[in-house]
Chains A and B, each alone.
Chain A
Amino acid sequence: MSVPALEVRDLSFEYPDGTPVLRSVDFHVHPGERVALLGPNGAGKTTLVLHLNAILQPGEGSVTVAGLPATDDNTHEIRRRTGLVFQDPDDQLFMPTVRQDVAFGPANFGVEGPELEHRVMDALEAVGMMEVADRPPHHLSLGQRRRVAVATVLAMRPEILVLDEPSSNLDPASRHELAHILQSLDITMFMVTHDLPYALELCERSLVMDEGRLVADGPTAEILGDRELMRAHRLELPYGFDPSLVQPH
């Protein structure tokens, strides 16, 4: 068995006032897998994501990325290994130009000169955004900004790409373009989403989280087809959508 790209063991976390957010969360993701994390608002999904990047430290339990435990000593390297794409591209893209924004991550890890330029162009090419390299991020459409946000972490050559609500607020065409790009990437992926058809389209496996606990883990089509499970955890398929009728990729 290969070393898991991501291993979360018995992870618990509570707010300073004692409210538990994560309760003994336990799962792993193998290299090359694409996993969706589903669950209602307030389930603890974003809190879990912030642990994967060592922005939050576990109260109990552990997070390991490609064999490296997320301890204080390893924080910097963990952040390179886990490429985290935030929900709002206006939070993610803060530099004056797209080129500088994509270069920000690798530059923080000591990449410079021609290698840095090469990484930036590679990442922008992967998301089809080469032509906007010298434009300020706030002049791009939301769909373009989201794609550039993905490029900003691809440039760090992470072990795992973690996306928080990648399809939120996108128009159908941009949503489709982003799905196409994500499918074309040869990388392990962990995606938090409320967009259940998107999970089915992009991820062969899904986890369901509710009230800080993992309550289901299995093939996406089976989870979305389990009406009782879906109803119990406030997951709702779009009107008329039947996962059993969708052809697998």
Chain B
Amino acid sequence: MKTAHVHALYVHGKSPVHDLEAHVKVAAMLLFVFAVVATPREAFWAFAVDAVLLAGAVRAARIPVRFLFGRLLVLIPFVLFAFLLPFLGGGARTEVLGLSLSIEGLWGAWTILAKATLGVTASIVMAATTEVPDILLGLDRLRVPRLITAIAGFMIRYLDVVLGEMHRMRVAMLSRGYDPRWIWQGRALATSAGSLFIRSYERGERVHQAMVARGYQGHMPVFNSGSAPVGSWARAMTVPSVAWVVTIVSLLT
């Protein structure tokens, strides 16, 4: 049975970035994203430096460019929105190739394109070099509330199971000659969604029983991997540190 695996974001391989501890990478990625967000929109040079930094990280992580661009497709809805802004924006307008465009809209489009591309690329570097269970452990180490990481863990654990059930229900429907795909067949789709919800709910109850059976008393145990050596922090923080210096300089000038 084929269902989407949530580890599709991961690139199997060995690289200095793969070797870094998960929580170090998560922290570095977040700091980099904050630096990008804080950069003033007029500082084109700062975004260029950030892009070069990221290109270095992508190279160090040995992420294939094709894979990176494939993952960047997630940006398409934002890009489409950004392209609309210069046409729909208000305020002063300017002529570009005979089109009347809003200046404020152009700035908005540029900000979305630059910041979203840099932010998403940074998160792709992190996700491509860190396995999902390690990301969750990393979030634990960074003191993200255990309840949140536990919910994320369950979601990832059971996504394949629920998709598998959905697939089987669809096959059962198809095998009896019914292939609902139009809006007026929504009733069948709603019924499937309803029974999928009930099945998942019942599974939730059984999982809870299995947890209680092994002594669960309302608090998930925390399994911390060891702390990261200073060297790891130093290596991982190079990119966000330079990005922050660039941001601060661009804010001051």
Contact = CB atoms under 8 A, between A and B. Distances in A.
Interface of A: 50, 53, 55, 76, 79-80, 82, 84, 86, 88, 90-92, 94-97, 99-100, 103-105, 107-109, 134, 136-138, 152-153, 156
Given A94-B210, A96-B153, A76 B215 contact: yes
A108 B223 CA distance: 11
Given A91-B206, A96-B136, A55 B154 contact: no
Contact of A55 (B137, B153, B158, B213): B213
Interface string B192-205: 00000000000100
Contacts of B156: 96
Contacts of A105: 214-215
Contacts of B221: 103-104, 107-108
B133 interface: yes
Contacts, number: 78
Question: Main secondary structure on chain A at its contact with chain B?
Answer: helix
B127 to A, nearest CB: 15
B213 A84 contact: yes
A116 to B, nearest CB: 8
Contact of B157 (A53, A109, A136): A136
B206 A79 contact: no
In this complex, the interface size class of chain B, counting residues with CB under 8 Å from chain A, is 20 to 34
A94 B133 contact: no
28 contacts: A55-B209, A55-B213, A76-B215, A76-B217, A79-B213, A82-B213, A84-B213, A84-B214, A86-B213, A90-B161, A90-B203, A94-B154, A94-B158, A94-B207, A94-B211, A96-B132, A96-B133, A96-B153, A96-B156, A100-B133, A107-B221, A107-B223, A108-B221, A134-B133, A136-B132, A136-B133, A136-B157, A156-B215
A108 B214 contact: yes
B223 A103 contact: yes
A86 B212 CA distance: 12
Interface string B115-144: 000000000000000001100110000000
B215 A86 contact: no
B67 interface: no
A138 B214 contact: no
Interface-central residue, B7, B154, B158, B211, by most chain A CB under 10 Å: B211
A138 B156 CA distance: 10
B157 to A, nearest CB: 6
B209 A86 contact: yes
Contact of B214 (A96, A136, A153): A153
A91 B208 CA distance: 8
Nearest to A77: B215
Given A88-B206, A91-B203, A103-B221, A138 B157 contact: yes
Interface string B157-176: 11011000000000000000
A50 B206 CA distance: 11
A3 to B, nearest CB: 22
A109 to B, nearest CB: 5
Nearest to B132: A96
A194 B247 CA distance: 68
